[in-house]
Structure formats: C-alpha cells, structure tokens
Structure 1
Amino acid sequence: MKDREPAEPPHPATDVTQHVGYLVKRAQAALRGAMDKVLRAHGLTVPQYATLELLAVHPGMSNAELARATFVTRQSANVVLRGLQEAGLITRPATADHGRARPTHLTEEGHDRLAAVQTAVYAIEQRMVEAIPPGRLPALLTDLERLATTLEE
C-alpha cells in the first residue's frame, strides 16, 4: 500500500472540528435541537413550523415551492402538508385548477398556532444573535448567504 499524503486543509485548522463546514453543521444541529424542543410543546415539527412561517408571508405556495423552501423532498413536503391539513392549520384544494400545483393557505387556526409558537422560536434566534459581537450580524448574514450561493452554483 502506498503512503498517502493527507490533503491540505482549506484553511489553518488543527482538526476537522475547526473547519467551516463542521462549525456550520454544529450550529445547525444546535438550532434544530432547540427548535425541536419548543415546537414539540406546540405539537409541531421544524418542517411544519417552517411551512407555516412561509405560508404566512407567501400564501398560495405549491407543494414543490414549499419543499424547496423548507429543504425537504416533495414527498416529505406532502406528508408535512397532509399533517397540517388534518390538524386544521392549512387549506388546499383537493384538485388543481390548472397543472398539478395546489395552492396552500393558512387557516385562522394556522395563523393562531403560528403566532403562539413564534415567540418561543424567535427567542432562540435572539439568543444566537446576542452571541454575535455588536455590529457583526450584517457581515455574518452576508457571509452565510455567500456560502450557500457558492455551493448552490
């Protein structure tokens, strides 16, 4: 077996736990855990909550649009939508007017559930924001957007 030289890391780091990708994933996992905890108390999952948030701002989104925006497959988005519909939090027509898209809207109960849980979820984000040195948030948001855009290309 040949001796192999290890690949050069993309930046100075003593181990993988100091790599950008690792730290982004660690932050995402911590956020997901915190959100799971508060959402469970309201009978929601993270994808369900994300769907409610999106529909509050963009009523009429289709299953495919919601899947892309919530980072799940169309099949998973369909399961999320069925659960929300059965809970009375959204409405969508049984059939599409044209094509296959069925626009989805929040019900009054959906708006109420979203409002009830937003305070807890926004408190999590506030904790994250407070951990960032003053004045650095705009740069962090720009950098995170740049990272995502670079990998989506």
Structure 2
Amino acid sequence: MSFVKDHDEILIALRRIIRAVHLRSKKLEKETGLTAPQFIVLQALARRGSMKPSALSREISLGQPTVTAILDRLKRAGLIERTASASDRRSTPAQITAEGLAVIETSPELLQTGFLKAFRKLPDWEQHMLIGALQRVAELMDASDVDASPILTGGSEMVKPAPDAARAPKA
C-alpha cells in the first residue's frame, strides 16, 4: 500500500465514523423527535427512577444547565414529569412518564449502545489498543482538549460534559 493510500484509508475510516454517527442521530430524531442527549436523559430516568437534575447531570456526564433545558423540553412533550420535593422546595426531581417509557421501547438503538456491546466483547489488550489509537488520532487532529461527552451525536449539536464528570460520584 502506498504512503498516499494510507492517508486516504485513515481519512475514509474517520469519515465513515462521522457519517455513521450522523445517520444514526438523524434516524433517532426522525423516528422519535428526540435528540440523542434527550433520549439518554429518558433512558437514565427509566433506569434510575426519579432523579434531581444535579444527580442526572452526573449520571450522564452532561452539564446541569444542559440537563435542565433537556428536562424542560421533555416535560413539554409529556415524556417526563417534575414535582417539587417535599423536603426541598427548590428541588424538582424528574421522573419518566408512561409515554416516555413507550418512546424508549419503540426507539432505534443508539450507535454508542451497539458499539459498546461489541467493544466490551473484545479482549482487554485490544480495548486498550483501540483507546490509545483513538486518543492519538484526537491528538493529531488537535482535538485532545476539545470538550466531549460520551454521547455520540451528529450534526451541529454540541454537548459538553459536566465539570469533572469522570470524577463525579454516581448519585
């Protein structure tokens, strides 16, 4: 394989990844009307039950203002409910509605879900090799310091992780 061909191969692989994320995000949005971050909020609420926005933010590694905005949209759509806490009036935990659960059950799988299932089946050495290679690609693209969340989304939507999300305790 020629030197130029090697460059083409890596750029083609990167473009395929970007395109796959974009297409899966569009499919989710078309079928549910939800963005990937909105869908992940619903999934977290279905999995964990009623949660305060701060705990939800830590759970899914998104900033609290982003989570609050998502919760507002999901409430308007009837997919969640928010009720004032009896012990703290400032807190309004969110819980998924029956309609929200129905959306999750009938939605296409997120790209990251299928990827993580396959990735976890790989031997440890191969997982570490892939992580190292992708981190190196990020460095080569001057993207090492770009804020990123573990949520794969397409389009222009930017999702930032919560500060120190990796060290935040699980609520």
TM-score range for the pair, normalised by the shorter chain length: 0.5 to 0.7
CA 1:75 to 1:123, structure 2 compared with 1: closer, same or farther past 3 Å?
Answer: closer
In the alignment, which residue of structure 2 is the partner of 1:57?
47
Give the greater-gyration-radius structure (CA): 1
Report the Cα offset of residue 101 of structure 1: 2.9
Cα distance in structure 1, aligned partners of 2:51 and 2:70: 14
CA 1:137 to 1:105, structure 2 compared with 1: closer, same or farther past 3 Å?
Answer: farther
Scaled by the length of structure 1, the TM-score of the pair is 0.60
**Aligned partner of 1:77: which letter?**
V
- Give 5+ residue unaligned stretches, structure 1: 1-14
CA 1:108 to 1:74, structure 2 compared with 1: closer, same or farther past 3 Å?
Answer: same
1:51 and 1:66 in contact (8 A); partners too: yes
- Give 5+ residue unaligned stretches, structure 2: 1-6, 136-149, 151-164
**Aligned partner of 1:105: which letter?**
Q
- After TM superposition, the structure 1 = structure 2 runs for residues 66-81 of structure 1, keeping only pairs within 5 Å, are 66-81=56-71
Cα distance in structure 1, aligned partners of 2:54 and 2:104: 21
CA 1:69 to 1:31, structure 2 compared with 1: closer, same or farther past 3 Å?
Answer: farther
Cα distance in structure 2, aligned partners of 1:52 and 1:137: 31
Q: Secondary structure at the match of 1:121?
A: coil
Number of aligned residue pairs: 120
Q: Which has the higher contact order (CA 8 A, sep 6+)?
A: 2
Cα distance in structure 2, aligned partners of 1:60 and 1:31: 33
Cα distance in structure 1, aligned partners of 2:97 and 2:41: 13
Q: Secondary structure at the match of 1:72?
A: coil
CA 1:123 to 1:101, structure 2 compared with 1: closer, same or farther past 3 Å?
Answer: same
Q: Secondary structure at the match of 1:91?
A: strand
1:96 and 1:102 in contact (8 A); partners too: yes
1:34 and 1:124 in contact (8 A); partners too: no
Task: Tell me which of 107, 128, 136 is aligned to 2:122.
Answer: 136
CA 1:122 to 1:97, structure 2 compared with 1: closer, same or farther past 3 Å?
Answer: same
- After TM superposition, the structure 1 = structure 2 runs for residues 1-153 of structure 1, keeping only pairs within 5 Å, are 32-41=21-30, 42-93=32-83, 95-99=84-88, 100-117=90-107, 120-121=108-109, 125-126=113-114, 129=117, 135-136=121-122, 140=127, 152=166
Cα distance in structure 2, aligned partners of 1:59 and 1:73: 20
